[in-house]
Amino acid sequence: MLVYEGKAKRLYETEDEHVLLVEYKDSATAFNGVKKAEIDGKGQLNNEITSLIFQWLDQKGVKSHFIRKVSEREQLVKRVTILPVEVVLRNVVAGSMAKRLGLEEGTPLLSPIVEFYYKNDDLGDPIITEDHALLLEIASEEDLQFLREQALIVNQALQQLFSDIGVRLIDFKLEFGRDEQGSILLADEISPDTCRLWDKETNQKLDKDVFRRDLGNLTDVYQEILKRLRGEISHV
């Protein structure tokens, strides 16, 4: 039974009440759903890329909701209740941070910056402080500290992974969920939809900005990321 349909994924119940099936759709959306397109093959690419990254993170000690990939566009995940907060980590100025603070895109940050956004479509997912997150009862102080630490750990692991395949990890967004025992697990996806990835040599954008900014063919650059990741993570 379908339990949730988002912009890029559908979630179905399985025979096991603790496990959901995620189906990755071919839809691409940007600017809170204002720009939309169907892109053949995108779902399959994101399912493959996310699966590889979650398996790789697991080996680095980062636990997530991911169980296993079961078909070209489907994976099994642990059922969690998603926290209504997006955690963004930035290594280099880009996107909304460049706009908000009037900084030049591409400026490296001395140390990574963590931001929290309130997941609320009606409000356009506003950036929030930790005090706002407490006020909105999104998470406790301890949980927010945990989210920040997890984001930094994921960043270290992913920076290494992407650096080895000739890619700069500019920024990325994480989501987390709570399982029945109350533990917080990394959830959702990690893919070129949710990261900014620039080629180390050429600075070519290998992520969803290609779609957001009409810079070329999205599946070509996602395919390039998958090809490089497969070369690096051939054992999983």
Q: Give me the residues that bind ligand C5P (CB under 6 A), please.
A: 86, 88, 94-97, 125, 171-173, 194-196, 208
In the bound state with ligand C5P, the residue whose beta carbon lies nearer, of 12 and 118, is 118
E runs forming strands in the chain: 2-5, 9-13, 19-24, 27-30, 35-38, 66-71, 74-78, 81-82, 85-92, 108-118, 127-128, 167-178, 184-187, 195-199
Nearer to ligand C5P, 19 or 152 (CB): 152
Contact between 25 and 2 (Cβ < 8 Å):
no
Cβ 91 to ligand C5P shortest distance, Å: 11
Task: Please report how close the Cβ of residue 201 comes to ligand C5P at its closest, in angstroms.
Answer: 20
Smallest separation (angstroms) from ligand C5P to the CB of 148: 16
Q: How far is the CB of 125 from ligand C5P (least distance, A)?
A: 6
Q: Shortest distance, CB of residue 180 to ligand C5P, whole angstroms?
A: 26
Phi-psi region of 125 (alpha: psi -120 to 50; beta: other; left: phi over 0): left
HEC readout, 145-180? HHHHHHHHHHHHHHHHHHHHCCEEEEEEEEEEEECC
| Residue 47 or 194 with smaller CB distance to ligand C5P | 194
Provide the minimum distance between the beta carbon of 152 and ligand C5P in the complex, in angstroms, as a whole number. Answer: 15
b/e map of 77-103 (b: 16 or more CB within 10 Å)? bbbbeebbbbbbbbbbbbeebbeeeee
The residue (of 75 and 194) whose beta carbon lies closer to ligand C5P is 194
Instruction: Give all strands of the β-sheet with 19-24 in edge-to-edge order.
Output: 2-5, 9-13, 19-24, 74-78, 66-71
Q: Which residues have C-beta within 8 Å of that of residue 113, sequence separation ≥ 6?
A: 89, 90, 97
- Comparing CB distances to ligand C5P, the nearer of 65 and 208 is 208
Q: Cβ closer to ligand C5P: 13 or 130? A: 130
> What is the number of the residue whose Cβ is closest to ligand C5P?
95
| Closer to ligand C5P by Cβ: residue 27 or 96 | 96
CB of 149 to ligand C5P, least distance (A): 19
